[in-house]
């Protein structure tokens, strides 16, 4: 019996794996197991505690269930700062993708004509390459809503307090362009690595990745942020179309256990926002205990007001937030509130309760995707706090010294080297390890600015990052070798061309096409190159397309395979090189 049970469990785990499913879907056995698995999932969902809970949170829970079971379609954003963004949008249109009608942010957002992860053939190869090179970002549609509600503007300093994996961070970057700053924070080291990878993939100059517990985030810059995004950890009860595990694992007690953490993170977000600034609190949960109850506590503190979110997001299929909700036990049935759980209960204050209607709820069936919640809050001046009550900080007795691994502004010697090699030195260049990083003037001003700690009692002078723990910033513009400038990084070449001249060589289109097809032409092909010149160069075609190469006796491309795939597709070449063919 035990052997049969283990075998059954092993088969079940195998076919939970989408790759295994697709590999076997073509055979009769595969189809049989997949159909059995689908029936099992549906029975599990139909008998789930979550479905019972939803029946207490809204009418017509059957309609919600019908829109919460099938797998999600693939959705993505197009990076408006990519030089090929118009080509990308044209390609998406050609393969049958449709624009998401309510998306109002920078760039555009699209729904693909297939489920997540099921692209095949050339479509899969091009889409993967577009994502890998930062020209598009795969992101669930409802996950795009918080940044639209935050509505960041170029030049602003924004904090993404729970940033990993980074899709919202890169969306903020697209609003800022090559100005402003978005401080992207993550506390868990493994997730920090994912965040850095996605920021580098996107290639924004305005991002700064830091690692802190969001509940204790330092107030840097000292005057606060213009906007803070707080997409807190949650139970994910709105993600059943993406995470089928939720059907069996979700319990009301999970939301209650997260409530205090969620509120503490939101409270800190409010503390580091400047007066008049905007805070967006969001979850992918449907549970009012994680949503309206958290917002009600923040409103009760009297430091923020709720802004009508649905007015800021016209066209989004949504409902107002709720001001009343039941207590549920872990079987999904009605229960009684514990008097010690006052913070989880609906607010008794009528003013607070009325503001909860300004929150926004998205149900899976209404939007045809995931469930979501967000609240847009505006920080208001505290009554009775005037200029005379502002604390004058004293210099901190602690010496804050940045670790050697922190990015630092480049030296005068490096500036002179760039001016010699490139013709000029772009502003806000930084050095970290073997890389030169290109950021924005606003990021430089954060580094230069004074900041306080211990609730404003101690002053920490600028000219450093501490107490911020900075992991990465900006766009990697160049690599160093043995302390000297080695090569320009391909992702930075298009924007660097507007600032410097040194590494760029104008060539005919056929030269770039031949290299992309797999040839490595002799250096004599580059007529503008001097006899003794070697090293990194950027070839520029008549249409402005840039290709990073290394010039020795031969001309060798210095770009990733994904970059080559995109460049071939854009230029109408076969996406596979002749060597691969």
Active site residues: 284
Q: How far is CA 209 from the centre of its chain?
A: 11
Tell me how far apart the alpha carbons of residues 406 and 472 are, in angstroms, rounded to a whole number.
Answer: 8
Q: Distance (Å, rounded) from C-alpha 534 to C-alpha 442?
A: 36
> CA–CA distance from 519 to each of 125, 511, 522, 549, 557 (Å)?
22, 10, 10, 12, 9
Backbone angles phi, psi at 358, to 5 degrees: -80, -10
- Measured distance CA(333)–CA(335) in Å, rounded: 6
Whether residue 409 contacts residue 447, with contact meaning beta carbons closer than 8 Å, is answered with yes
Quote the tokens at residue 163: 């940033």
Distance CA 291, CA 470 (A): 31
User: Bridge-partner residues for 437, per DSSP?
Assistant: 430, 476
Residue located via tokens 């079940």: 12
CA 457 to chain centre: 34
Residue 51: helix, strand or coil by DSSP?
helix
CA distances to 60, 67, 142, 288, 318 from 365, rounded to whole Å, are 11, 4, 12, 18, 10
Among 240, 195, 208, CA closest to 406: 208
Of 79, 111, 86, the residue nearest 98 (C-alpha)? 111
Q: Hey, what are 241's tokens? A: 């179309």
Structure tokens at 48: 């789930």
Half-sphere exposure of 94 (CA within 13 A, CB side): 10
Residue 407 burial (10 A CB sphere; 0-12, 13-18, 19+): buried
**How far from 441 is each of 155, 164, 474, 479, 515, CA to CA, in Å?**
9, 24, 11, 21, 37
Structural contact between residues 271 and 321, judged by C-beta atoms closer than 8 angstroms: no
The SS3 of residue 544 is coil
The helix/strand/coil state of 395 is: strand
How many C-alpha atoms does 462 have within 13 Å on its Cβ side? 12
- Whether residue 263 contacts residue 298, with contact meaning beta carbons closer than 8 Å, is answered with yes
Identify whether the C-beta of residue 369 lies closer than 8 Å to the C-beta of residue 142: yes
* Residues 130/189/447/159 CA torsion (nearest 10 deg): 70
Query: How far out from the chain centre does Cα 557 lie?
Result: 30
Q: What tokens were used for 199?
A: 């920021």
Q: How far apart are CA 512 and CA 541, in angstroms?
A: 7
């Amino acid at each position: 019996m035990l052997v049969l049970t283990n075998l059954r469990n092993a088969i079940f785990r195998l076919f939970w794996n989408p790759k295994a499913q697709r590999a076997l879907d073509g055979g009769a056995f595969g189809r049989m197991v997949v159909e059995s698995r689908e029936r099992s999932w549906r029975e599990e969902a139909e008998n789930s505690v979550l479905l019972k809970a939803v029946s207490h949170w809204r009418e017509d829970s059957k309609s919600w269930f019908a829109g919460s079971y099938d797998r999600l379609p693939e959705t993505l954003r197009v990076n408006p700062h990519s030089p090929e963004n118009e080509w990308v949008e044209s390609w998406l249109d050609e393969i049958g993708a449709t624009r998401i009608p309510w998306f109002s942010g920078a760039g555009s957002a699209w729904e693909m004509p297939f489920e997540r992860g099921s692209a095949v053939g050339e479509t899969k190869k091009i889409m993967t390459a577009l994502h890998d090179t930062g020209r598009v970002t795969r992101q669930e549609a409802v996950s795009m809503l918080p940044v639209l509600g935050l509505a960041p503007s170029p030049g602003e300093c924004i904090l993404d307090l729970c940033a990993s994996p980074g899709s919202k961070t890169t969306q903020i970057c697209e609003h800022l362009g090559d100005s402003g700053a978005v401080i992207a924070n993550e506390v868990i080291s493994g997730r920090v690595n994912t965040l850095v990878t996605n920021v580098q993939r996107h290639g924004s100059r305005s991002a700064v990745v830091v690692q802190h517990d969001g509940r204790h985030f330092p107030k840097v810059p000292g005057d606060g942020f213009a906007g803070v995004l707080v997409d807190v950890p949650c139970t994910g009860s709105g993600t059943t179309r993406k995470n089928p595990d939720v059907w069996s694992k979700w319990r009301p007690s999970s939301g209650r256990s997260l409530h205090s953490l969620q509120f503490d993170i939101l409270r800190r977000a409010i503390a580091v926002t400047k007066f008049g600034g905007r805070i967006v609190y969001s979850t992918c949960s449907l549970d009012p205990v994680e949503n309206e109850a958290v917002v009600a506590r923040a409103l009760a503190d009297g430091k923020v007001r709720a802004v009508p979110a649905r007015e800021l997001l016209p066209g989004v299929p949504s409902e107002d937030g709720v001001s009343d909700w039941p207590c549920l036990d872990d079987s999904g049935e009605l229960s009684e509130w514990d008097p010690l759980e006052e913070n989880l209960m609906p607010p008794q204050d009528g003013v607070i309760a009325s503001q909860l209607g300004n929150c926004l709820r998205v149900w899976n069936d209404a939007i045809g995707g995931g469930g979501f919640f967000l609240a847009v809050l505006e920080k208001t001046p505290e009554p009775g706090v005037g200029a005379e009550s502002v604390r004058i900080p004293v210099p901190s007795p602690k010496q804050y010294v940045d670790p050697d691994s922190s990015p630092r502004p480049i030296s005068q010697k490096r500036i002179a080297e760039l001016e010699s090699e490139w013709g000029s030195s772009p502003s806000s260049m930084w050095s970290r390890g073997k890389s030169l990083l290109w950021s924005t003037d606003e990021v430089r001003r954060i580094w230069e600015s004074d900041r306080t700690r211990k609730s404003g009692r101690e002053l920490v002078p600028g000219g450093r990052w501490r107490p911020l723990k900075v992991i990465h910033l900006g766009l990697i513009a160049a690599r160093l070798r043995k302390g000297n400038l080695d090569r320009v990084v391909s992702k930075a070449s298009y924007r660097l061309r507007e600032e410097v001249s040194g590494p760029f060589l104008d060539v005919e289109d056929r030269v770039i096409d031949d290299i992309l097809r797999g040839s490595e032409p002799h250096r004599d092909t580059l007529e503008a190159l001097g006899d003794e010149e070697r090293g990194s160069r950027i070839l520029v075609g008549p249409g402005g397309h840039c290709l990073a190469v290394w010039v020795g006796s031969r001309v060798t491309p210095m770009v990733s395979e994904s970059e080559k795939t995109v460049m071939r597709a854009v230029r109408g070449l076969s996406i596979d090189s002749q060597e691969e063919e």
